[in-house]
Amino acid sequence: MKRVCARVSDAYEGKRLGSPSAIIMIEMYGDLLCPDCATAWPIVKKVLSYYSNDVVFYFHTFPLPYHTASFHVSQATNVMVNLTNGDLTYFWRYLDDLFLHKVQQNYWNNKIADSTDNQVVESVCKYISDNYPYDYQKLLDGMSNSNRDWDTRVAWKFACAHGVYGTPTFWINGMVTSLGTTSSFEDWKSVIDPLI
C-alpha cells in the first residue's frame, strides 16, 4: 500500500502583506470563523498600519475543528488566491468582511446546523462571487480541486507543527507571543518597539 502524507513546509505558508525583507515579521494564526480573531483584527490592522514600513505580516489559516464550516471558508481563500494567480487583494477584503463586517456569523454552527457540506460550500462561493469579481462556477470547481484541499490541510499542519492549538495566536520574529484577543495597541507597541 502506498502512503501519501501532506508535507509540512518550513517556509512561511501564510498569505503575506508587506516586504519579506522587513525587520519585524508578525504571523497571525487565525480561524476565519473565530469571534476572538474578529475581535483582535481591528488592533492588528492598526498595528500593521502604524508599522507599515517595518513589518511583514503573514496570515495563516487555522480552521478549528469545532467551527464546522471553517475548513470550507479557509479552502475558499486558497481557491480565490489560485484564481487570481497569487494576487491577495481580494483575500484581504474577504478577511475584512469576515472579521469586521461580521460575515463570519453566516457560517457559525448555529446558522448552518441544517445545511449539508455542499450547501455550505455553495453558500461560501455565492457570497464570494456576489461580492468580488469571481465566477461562481470557477469557485465551485476550485472547491472540488484536490490541490486546494491539500493547500488548506498543509496550512493547518504548518500551524500544528508550530505548536498552535487555538486562535488567534501571534508570533513575532519567529517567537510565540502572549498577544491575543484582548491585547491593546499599547500592548503590541511594548513588544514591537524594542525590536526596531
**pLDDT at residue 13, rounded to an integer:** 67
In sequence order, which residues have a C-beta less than 8 Å from that of residue 188 and are 6 or more positions away?
Answer: 43, 47, 179
Domains along the chain with CATH numbers: 15-186 (3.40.30.10)
pLDDT in tens, 11-64: 556 899 999 899 999 999 999 999 999 999 999 999 999 999 999 999 999 999
pLDDT in tens, 40-53: 999 999 999 999 99
Q: Is the peptide bond before 63 cis (omega within 30 degrees of 0)?
A: no
- Report the candidate in 164, 168, 73, 88 with the shortest Cα–Cα distance to residue 125: 73
Q: Which residue has the higher pLDDT, 189 or 6?
A: 189
Whether residue 9 has pLDDT greater than 60: no
pLDDT in tens, 182-194: 999 999 999 999 9
**pLDDT at residue 125, rounded to an integer:** 97
Whether residue 7 has pLDDT greater than 70: no
The C-alpha atoms of residue 95 and residue 99 are separated, in whole angstroms, by 6
Q: What is the 3-state secondary structure (H, E, C) of 68-100?
A: CCHHHHHHHHHHHHHHCCCCCHHHHHHHHHHHC
Question: What are residue 144's DSSP bridge partners?
Answer: none
The C-alpha atoms of residue 21 and residue 16 are separated, in whole angstroms, by 12
**pLDDT at residue 6, rounded to an integer:** 46
pLDDT in tens, 142-161: 999 998 999 899 989 989 99
Whether residue 1 has pLDDT greater than 60: no
**pLDDT at residue 14, rounded to an integer:** 83
**pLDDT at residue 43, rounded to an integer:** 98
pLDDT in tens, 77-105: 999 999 999 999 999 999 999 999 999 99
